[in-house]
Structure 1
Amino acid sequence: MTDPRPATTLDHWRHRAALLTDSGPDSGLMIGGAPRAARSGAAFPSVSPRDGAEIARVAAAQPEDVEDAVRAARAAFDSGIWSRADPRHRQEVLHRLADLVEAHLDELALLESLDTGKPIADTVAVDVPSLARTLRWYAEAVDKVSGEVAPGPDSALVTVTREPLGVVGAVVPWNYPLIISGWKIAPALAVGNSVLLKPAEQSSLSAIRLAGLAAEAGIPPGVLAVLPGPGEVTGRALGLHGDVDKIAFTGSVPVGRMFQCYAGQSNGKQVALELGGKSPQLVLSDAADLDAVAESVAWGIFYNAGQTCHAGSRLVVHESLHDALVERVAAVAAAMAVGDPLDPATRIGPIVDERQYGAVLAHLDHAADTGVAAALGGAGAAAAAPGLCVPPTILTRVDPASHLGQEEVFGPVLTTHTFTTAEEGVRIANGTRFGLAAAVWTRDLATAHRVARRLRAGTVWVNTYDAADLITPFGGVKESGAGRDRSLGALESYTAAKTTWIDLGKE
């Protein structure tokens, strides 16, 4: 039965949420192409940050379940049913999956919003369409990437081909579950791997539903598994398994280091890491349009309640522009509605769970205790906000070397830092252990090139922020990790180069 109320209303989405909770969303493991409970019966609650209500009891994969999934994935890979299938067949299946994602847009968007607190306006317009586009982009690339013939001697034919690695573990975070899952599973599947997707405990429901759609699209049994569960159990079992050939992980620095250790303790599997950031927006004294800068700075940090790995959380601004720019950023932020993520008017939803909410508040309390001035928001405003919501906060003239200037808050908190020379600005911008993204604002083209070259980051934007597309790689340097998502390069990262040297004999 269709809901007659317009999909653009809070009433509509509340009604859909009630129906979903009453009926119970899919919440089992997906192993061997079929949903099932954990062997032990282990499960955990999926609790919505929107209101603290339990959405479902989600099966929690234990080591024996991971073993089952790896065995099924390896059997599928060795059978060749997907790994050696005609590339055009894989292309067609991925296109069908993209079609199904689009057909179930509202369902997936609602699951994502309830699970994570992301505004429904964003999950409908950004997250789910992004997943569909990623699946299509890599589907289209499948039959357009080829090997090479190396310049060997006349007596030999030397080829270099790319072959799928085998079994890939994709471990994704809770802030962009569908988008980041797409970045990992689409290229891995496109080139023929079997994939074990481990979603974060806070955001498992959309991944489970995606696995069901994948089976419907024709992904063979065993080729795509979904293994929700606690990182210290499920993630550890994946990382230590000797028949997993690669781990692709997005998340925190400590957990990324654990996966490197797991690889060393097991089979030396490849580990690709994207581990967050403390990204600067460097505004030089000749920045042309402060209103445009302010708009970009505000959205760069407050979008998704600041829970973005490359959020522009540090405003490094020339002293002469500081006050005027902060005033403009505050005005943009003040117009962002904070509240119920199911309200299409909401621009900033709640923090994902109690633990992360407490971590953000601890940073704000520290700022208050150390006398850092808040131009907007702050500890008092956060304490007065409903539920797990934290209003946009701007902490001004923070010591770049301080805890607030160095550590990732992962909430809607912007710190400002001033400089008087471009050299000092670049030093402050580079002065953290992270290097995921950065931006520079200047009207001088030569300066833009010189500064962009000196900024230590995987992505540098000039006179914009967060402009992105699948055509470009995404990842960081320094402690932001190693490895890249997106672009054609991702296809190569899920393959191994094979040299075949054929002796042609003498003429």
Structure 2
Amino acid sequence: MQPLTLSDWESKAAQLKIEGRAFVNGAYVSAAADTVFECISPVDGRFLANVASCDAADADHAVKVARATFDAGVWSRSSPVSRKQAMLRFADLLDQNAEELALLETLDMGKPISDALNVDVPCASDAIRWSGEAIDKIYDEVAATPHDQLGLVTREPIGVVAAIVPWNFPLMMACWKLGPALASGNSVILKPSEKSPLTALRIAQLAVDAGIPAGVLNVLPGYGHTVGKALAVHMDVDTIVFTGSTRIAKQLLIYSGESNMKRVWLEAGGKSPNIVFADAADLHAAAESAAAAIAFNQGEVCTAGSRLLVERSIKDTFLAMVIEALKGWTPGNPLDPETNVGALVDTQQMNNVLAYIEAGHKDGAQLVIGGERVLQETGGTYVQPTIFDGVSNAMRIAQEEIFGPVLSVITFDSVEEAISIANDSQYGLAAAVWTADISKAHLTAKALRAGSVWINQYDGGDMTAPFGGFKQSGNGRDKSLHAFDKYTELKATWIKL
């Protein structure tokens, strides 16, 4: 089968039927107030759909549906094997509908179609499949007890889960949460970002088609300050799982305390250091990786390697390599399979990124490549991948999460200084270390306050390793068996024999 071309994808886009209604109790429904918002593509400004703008009334209805479904036990008390089979069918349906899902993701969010098709959709189905496979392999415990006592330690589904997911990897982030949440037997209300809600609405129907009972997975599109807040303060939501900004993450903690002390699990972004020592074995590979770490997904990545820390003795040589590597990352039409840098998610985000670039100028950093809006004639929101040299770690562009393709280059003279700079951040999501010295690699990794540390690579890992951060990058972990901790309660049962 021949790979699809730009013309093929444009043709598919023209024929695409987009569902914008909410999904509750196994069916698409309008918002209670019949309100909508326009979904506009960042690719070229085209109108995609009117999407239901849900509010507190919709949240209350969805929670009642989710609670009733949970209490009925059609999913929560079904056998692990039956849940596993439905989850595996769900994963298969994601794969079978990969082109449609990838197209929705690209049109809605602006990422290159090649990434949506080859990264986002496979990672999403892998998350559902991996969690499904884990269901009947997680065992409970028997406590060490006297001969006339029996102590059981069991896990139970927590109940009603509200999952609030971001706009940068809408499908994949949703599935990272849906996998263990559904596998554990919970009912879920998924609240996608208003900037990219389309794949969440589509997969809700696929879940029902896979045999997951109606009412188990519900999707409420809308704004954070309306339906998002309504879920966060609801007295019958048992846990909130969230990926997004630190500002909103902190607000969710407040809402929990003001309501029912619901569990709150947060992944709140980062400002990740990518540390390159002079003794790195392959500087060319490190430079290629540094370029990809800031340009992939237009820099709209919570783990983006946005702070490049380079040992002073190699800085000029290495920076020239990174500049050359970044020239291979050029904004283009996201529907073109050859494009590797797409559009920023919307005009607001584009303007935010351009404002940070201006802040870099004002603070005295040296622009060495990029820094401009491009392809304005398309009607889309495109910004060149950008590098600033001569950055102090105190500058805004080094401290604040830009969520765009803007790289800050910072020099250091010793291992201790590199670690100090790397840890001088409110965030602690990820970091990378490039060195041929295995002892230096391990000792540096131990000293870095980050949830993930990659050595001689950037962004390694798969579903077997947990993902999450330290400090104000949040708490809890997605992926791996550790993710199940967020969606279950531990119960101790003590029996007198």
2:426 matches 1:433:
yes
Q: Which residue of 2 aligns with 1:9?
A: 5
Over the matched positions of the two proteins, sequence identity in percent amounts to 48
**Greater CA deviation, 214-223 or 160-169?**
214-223
TM-score (norm 1): 0.96
Hey, what's the Cα distance between the residues in 2 that align with 1:97 and 1:405? 41
Hey, what's the Cα distance between the residues in 1 that align with 2:305 and 2:142? 44
Hey, what's the Cα distance between the residues in 2 that align with 1:472 and 1:301? 22
The CA RMSD over aligned residues, in Å, is: 1.1
Q: Which residue of 2 aligns with 1:339?
A: 332
Structure 1 residues 40 and 7 mapped into 2: Cα distance closer, same or farther (>3 Å)?
Answer: farther
Hey, what's the Cα distance between the residues in 2 that align with 1:158 and 1:384? 66
| Deviation, structure 1 residue 6 | 5.1
Q: Which residue of 1 aligns with 2:373?
A: 382
Query: Is the CA contact (8 Å cut-off) linking 2:140 and 2:154 kept in structure 1?
Result: yes
2:443 matches 1:450:
yes
| Deviation, structure 1 residue 493 | 2.0
Hey, what's the Cα distance between the residues in 1 that align with 2:269 and 2:360? 22
Secondary structure at the aligned position of 2:279 is classed as coil
Hey, what's the Cα distance between the residues in 1 that align with 2:388 and 2:59? 44
| Deviation, structure 1 residue 385 | 5.9
Secondary structure at the aligned position of 1:168 is classed as strand
Q: Which residue of 2 aligns with 1:284?
A: 277
The one-character-per-residue Cα deviations of 1:168-220 (angstroms, maximum 9, x if unpaired) are 00000000011110110110000100000000001111000000111111111
Q: Which residue of 2 aligns with 1:352?
A: 345
Q: Which residue of 1 aligns with 2:245?
A: 252
2:27 matches 1:34:
yes
Hey, what's the Cα distance between the residues in 2 that align with 1:369 and 1:403? 10
Pairing partner for 1:230 from 223, 230, 248: 223
Query: Is the CA contact (8 Å cut-off) linking 1:337 and 1:345 kept in structure 2?
Result: no
Q: Which residue of 2 aligns with 1:469?
A: 462
Q: Which residue of 1 aligns with 2:320?
A: 327
Hey, what's the Cα distance between the residues in 2 that align with 1:100 and 1:183? 16
2:57 matches 1:61:
no
Opposite residue 6 of structure 2, the aligned amino acid is L
Q: Which residue of 1 aligns with 2:15?
A: 19
| Deviation, structure 1 residue 422 | 1.2
**Greater CA deviation, 365-374 or 170-179?**
365-374
Secondary structure at the aligned position of 2:156 is classed as strand
The one-character-per-residue Cα deviations of 1:200-250 (angstroms, maximum 9, x if unpaired) are 001111000000111111111110000000000010000000100000000
Query: Is the CA contact (8 Å cut-off) linking 2:374 and 2:382 kept in structure 1?
Result: no
Secondary structure at the aligned position of 2:45 is classed as coil
Query: Is the CA contact (8 Å cut-off) linking 1:385 and 1:391 kept in structure 2?
Result: no
Opposite residue 96 of structure 1, the aligned amino acid is R
Secondary structure at the aligned position of 2:368 is classed as strand
Structure 1 residues 61 and 384 mapped into 2: Cα distance closer, same or farther (>3 Å)?
Answer: closer
Query: Is the CA contact (8 Å cut-off) linking 2:163 and 2:189 kept in structure 1?
Result: yes
Hey, what's the Cα distance between the residues in 1 that align with 2:146 and 2:82? 36
Query: Is the CA contact (8 Å cut-off) linking 2:23 and 2:218 kept in structure 1?
Result: yes
Pairing partner for 1:83 from 76, 86, 105: 76
Hey, what's the Cα distance between the residues in 2 that align with 1:345 and 1:66? 41
Hey, what's the Cα distance between the residues in 2 that align with 1:83 and 1:384? 50
Alignment of 1:74-113 (within 5 A): 74-113=67-106
Pairing partner for 1:204 from 197, 210, 213: 197
Q: Which residue of 2 aligns with 1:399?
A: 392
Hey, what's the Cα distance between the residues in 2 that align with 1:295 and 1:125? 20
Aligned pair count reads 495
Pairing partner for 1:169 from 162, 166, 175: 162
The one-character-per-residue Cα deviations of 1:304-355 (angstroms, maximum 9, x if unpaired) are 0000001000001101111111111111110123111101010000100011
Hey, what's the Cα distance between the residues in 1 that align with 2:212 and 2:374? 47
| Deviation, structure 1 residue 383 | 5.7
Query: Is the CA contact (8 Å cut-off) linking 1:277 and 1:408 kept in structure 2?
Result: yes
Hey, what's the Cα distance between the residues in 1 that align with 2:125 and 2:418? 40
2:475 matches 1:482:
yes
Hey, what's the Cα distance between the residues in 2 that align with 1:336 and 1:354? 21
Q: Which residue of 1 aligns with 2:151?
A: 158
Structure 1 residues 105 and 479 mapped into 2: Cα distance closer, same or farther (>3 Å)?
Answer: same
Query: Is the CA contact (8 Å cut-off) linking 2:307 and 2:398 kept in structure 1?
Result: yes
| Deviation, structure 1 residue 369 | 2.9
Hey, what's the Cα distance between the residues in 2 that align with 1:359 and 1:95? 40
Query: Is the CA contact (8 Å cut-off) linking 2:434 and 2:457 kept in structure 1?
Result: yes
Query: Is the CA contact (8 Å cut-off) linking 1:46 and 1:58 kept in structure 2?
Result: yes
Hey, what's the Cα distance between the residues in 2 that align with 1:410 and 1:462? 23
Query: Is the CA contact (8 Å cut-off) linking 1:101 and 1:213 kept in structure 2?
Result: yes
| Deviation, structure 1 residue 384 | 7.0
| Deviation, structure 1 residue 90 | 0.3
Opposite residue 48 of structure 1, the aligned amino acid is S
Q: Which residue of 2 aligns with 1:182?
A: 175
Hey, what's the Cα distance between the residues in 2 that align with 1:157 and 1:271? 32
Opposite residue 114 of structure 1, the aligned amino acid is L
